Structure formats: structure tokens, C-alpha cells
Amino acid sequence: VTILYLVNMSLTDKQKAFLLRKLKTRFERMDIDKNGYISIEDYQELARRFVEYGKLSGEDEQRIRKALQDVCNNIGLKEGVKIMREQFLTDFLKLIENGEVNGDTISEMFDVVDTNGDGVISPREFYDYFKIMGVDESSAQTSFDAIDTDHNGIITRDEFIAAGLDFFTGVDETSGGTLFFGPLVD
């Protein structure tokens, strides 16, 4: 997988438009309650859905809740904070342009999607992840195949992080990382 990392680069208008489309997709997927902003409540609902879909309890439930709380902490999402779409797009695009995107939060999300904690994401876990985000499950297989770059039927942490970084920083419209959150919104 070839990933272009944008470090203090100027973007062409076409590249910027493509990145904004991907960021709009990310915003739509994470605005779980579809109220027009991302808040800690979206991540709490995400945790609830992961617990419900994965039929998790005990240590597994706590692991998922902690991993999502770590994601919130990493992105500065606290009680009462509401990130509107335009603010999200502007702020995230600045991070990309300044080369400040890293794999930490993506790695934490891997721990969430890997609901059974075995260190890989199975097709079932990935399909559940798409359902939880409200993405049509029929697109899950295409996205799974694009992220599973060695085509062994599982997604490793390295594959997940590489696809996530490509989603957030890549400007190649044919790259598999483009499908990290499913089909792009318009």
C-alpha cells in the first residue's frame, strides 16, 4: 500500500475538495444521532451499540467503553462540547495540511472494532462496525477487501491504521483507504 502523507504541503483545489468529501463522510458516520454535530453522546451511543451488537459484558464491555473514551480524550471531546460540521471540516483540514494526523486515534478505534479482543478484525466485526455507524452493510465487503491488503480474510492493526491514515491524508481517489468509512457522501 502506498500512502501519501501530507506534511506541510499545499493542496491543489481538487485534492482539497477530495479530502473535504472524505471528511464530510467521516463526520456523517460519527454523528450517530444525526443532530448535526459530534459530541461525547455520539461516542457513548457508539459504545452502547458495540456492546449490544457484540453481546459484550464484563471486561469486554469495559474495554470497548474505555477505548472509545480514549478516542474522545485524544480528540478533545468532553462533556458539553459540540463540534459542528463546518468547524470539524476546517479544523481537521488544518491538521492534515500541517501534517499533524497520526495513527493513535485510529489504533484506538481498532481496539473498539475488534470486539472480541483477539488482535484482528474479522468480517463479522467489520460488518457490525458498518451497521453501528449506519452504513449499508452491503458496502462492508468492498471496504473490508480494500482494507485487507494481504487478502487473508482478516484486518490487522497495521492494515487498519494504514487505511485510516490513507483515508485522512491520502489524495489518491482510487486508494482502498478511501473506503475506510464506507462509500463517500456527496
Residue 9: the pLDDT is 55
Residue 103: the pLDDT is 85
Nearest alpha-carbon partner for 71 in 108, 44, 101: 108
With a threshold of 0.75, does the pTM exceed it? yes
Helix or strand (DSSP H, E) at 38: strand 37-39
**Cell numbers at 33, concatenated:** 444521532
DSSP 135-179: --GGGHHHHHHHH-TT-SSSEEHHHHHHHHHHHHH---TT-GGGG
Which residues, 6 or more positions from 75, have their beta carbon under 8 angstroms from its beta carbon?
105
Burial of 71 (0-12, 13-18, 19+ CB in 10 A): buried
Q: What letter represents residue 71's amino acid?
A: V
Residue by residue, pLDDT tens for the chain (186 residues) are: 334 444 445 778 899 899 999 999 999 999 999 999 999 999 999 999 999 988 889 998 998 999 888 888 878 889 999 999 999 999 888 888 787 888 888 998 999 999 999 999 999 999 999 999 999 888 999 999 999 999 999 999 999 999 999 999 899 999 999 999 999 998
Residue 150: the pLDDT is 97
Residue 136: the pLDDT is 86
- E-only strand ranges, 81-134: 82-84, 120-121
- The secondary structure of residue 103, as a DSSP letter, is S
**What would you measure as the largest C-alpha separation in the chain, in angstroms?**
49
